Amino acid sequence: MKRNYLLRLTTSLVLAMGISWLAYNGVIWSDRKYFHSIAKNEFVFLEDTTTYDILLLGSSRVKNMVNPRVVDSVTKLNSFNAGASGANALEMKTILESYLLQHRPPKYMVLTLDLYSLENDRSLQYYPSYITCAASSPIEKALKNEGVHTYLYKYLPFLKLVELNDYYKGIVVKSLKGQTDIGDGDYYYKGYVSNTDVEIEKDELKPLRFFGVTQEGIDAVGDIINICRQKNIELVLTYAPEYKKFIIRGTPTPERIFKVYDSIATVNNIPYLRHENLALSTDPQLFANNGHLNKRGADVYSEVLSEQLITLGFIQ
């Protein structure tokens, strides 16, 4: 009797693990097919060993706004866009550390900081997209900060399913239909994802939330600066263009954040380029929304940024 019970229990456990394993592989495969961010992370952090001259680091305001094809054409160098949607300084540090495990240090790095970059609410904004990259120790550390049981997942990877919310699981259906997170008419190139041909049709100044400044965020920027010093990477800080300064104007007391960035740049003798006043920032035909350039705008800005870096002598 007891023996039959143990046999049924063991059979049930094995069957449950088998079904979970199949479900895990199906969901991960589908998410990997749909999200270019997952494929990008795996490629950059686990597979690619290409040496890049310029690393572009920041949030979606880098990922969707700086085109390496244009940067390469102007500078005659080889660049890669490591921007990640929603990334704060903590995530940017993790990306840089992980990048350097797999690649030789770039000669130059452009670090774009947003008004929310110094917040510390998350180490990784969209952490499920990093789960398959846990082989990178900096990413594994960041995942642990998010409460992800990385040690357990090394041996029972199908348990990663518990980290995927309904949105990620629902991607399975979209993936099976052949859909991806790259919109129709958009494309991926060396980390850059183009951002539609949509243009702003009507000016709309929206009130935004209060963006915090934390010591953890400041320390993360400091760590990035120290890494660049140790690796002999020439670093420049930027603030990306926005439409008519609507992000700045909609944010409570934004100058307190810029004062921190100014101080960091001054103390460390690093160029800090603020691009909210560029001529292109008043052209609605170059913006998809107040905070993001569209496809044509990204090409225009990438050329302006590259030429400015050359003019300033940052790039030799």
**pLDDT for position 77:** 98
Query: pTM for this structure?
Result: 0.87
pLDDT(129) > 80? no
153: its two tokens: 């997942």
Specify whether the CB–CB gap between 132 and 42 falls below 8 A: yes
pLDDT of 135: 59
Q: Report, as an integer, the average pLDDT of 238-266.
A: 98
- pLDDT single digits (tens) 226-235: 999 999 999 9
Task: Express as a percent the part of the chain with pLDDT over 90.
Answer: 61
Taking all residues of the chain, what is their mean pLDDT, rounded to a whole number? 87
Which of 34-38, 129-133, 143-147 is the most confident on average? 143-147
The topology under which CATH files domain 51-153+185-311 is: Rossmann fold (3.40.50)
CA angle 315, 258, 66 (to 5 degrees): 40
The single-letter code of the amino acid at 14 is V
| Confidence at 71, pLDDT banded by 50, 70, 90 | very high
Query: Phi, psi at residue 19, to the nearest 5°?
Result: -65, -40
SS3 content of the chain, % helix, strand, coil (to 5): 55, 10, 35
Q: Cβ-count burial of 296 within 10 angstroms (0-12 exposed, 13-18 middle, 19+ buried)?
A: middle
Q: How much is the pLDDT for 201?
A: 97
3-state secondary structure 178-208: CCCCCCCCCCEECCEECCCCCCCCCCCCCCC
pLDDT bracket for residue 217 (50, 70, 90): very high
More confident residue, 120 or 267: 267
d(CA 172, CA 182): 16
194-214 mean pLDDT: 96
